[in-house]
Amino acid sequence: MTEQEVPGVHETAILAGGCFWCLEAVFKDVEGVKSVTSGYIGGRVESPSYRQVCDGGTGHAEAVRIEFDAQVISYRDLLEIFFVVHDPTSLNRQGNDVGTQYRSAIFATSEAQLDDALALVEEMGEMRLYPSAIVTTIEMAETFWPAEEFHRDYYARNADQSYCQYVVAPKIAKFREKFASRRKQGG
């Protein structure tokens, strides 16, 4: 039996935390993550374009779909990384990116994920880990629309671009500092 055939090993997580370029770059570096796809979720328009989502009228969030091996990294571990590399207390914005398309959201793909996310947010709130309340929404996932090819591996192809240097790279550095043991081997 191959790894692909083992039941319950591969799972999907869908997270929104601002620009999807940042989350994609971080999670591609995480041990146990098999693939990361940038895209759109949570809106009213079928198969939206980047321009439509950026204009803010579709209701979609920029998000990443993460395929991961649950025997290597847990869903909760992914969420803990997520909460470190973006600001979960900032409503409908991350840095200079403003609008509901940049909201902090968790789109659970199972009831177990929903329960885990709700429990973690409650724990973090009780621990007062942030100076403000966590505004991350948690809901069941609906259709995830992959982003245009241009957005895939954006950081890897554009690391010298100023946005990548000033916004994406610090998030990667934060992940690598706080979760060094979760980094892919050879990464």
Q: How many CB atoms lie within 10 A of CB 16?
A: 29
How far, in Å, CA of 93 to CA of 75, rounded? 24
Catalytic option among 19, 22, 54, 164? 19
32-70 burial by CB neighbour count: b if 16+ within 10 A, else e? bbeebbbbbbbbeeeebebebbbeeebebbbbbbbebee
The answer to whether 54 is a known catalytic residue is no
Nearest-angstrom CA–CA distance, 47 and 60: 10
> How do beta strands 33-41 and 61-69 pair?
antiparallel
User: In which residue are the tokens 């403003």 written?
Assistant: 98
Distance CA 105, CA 102 (A): 9
- Residue numbers annotated as active site: 19
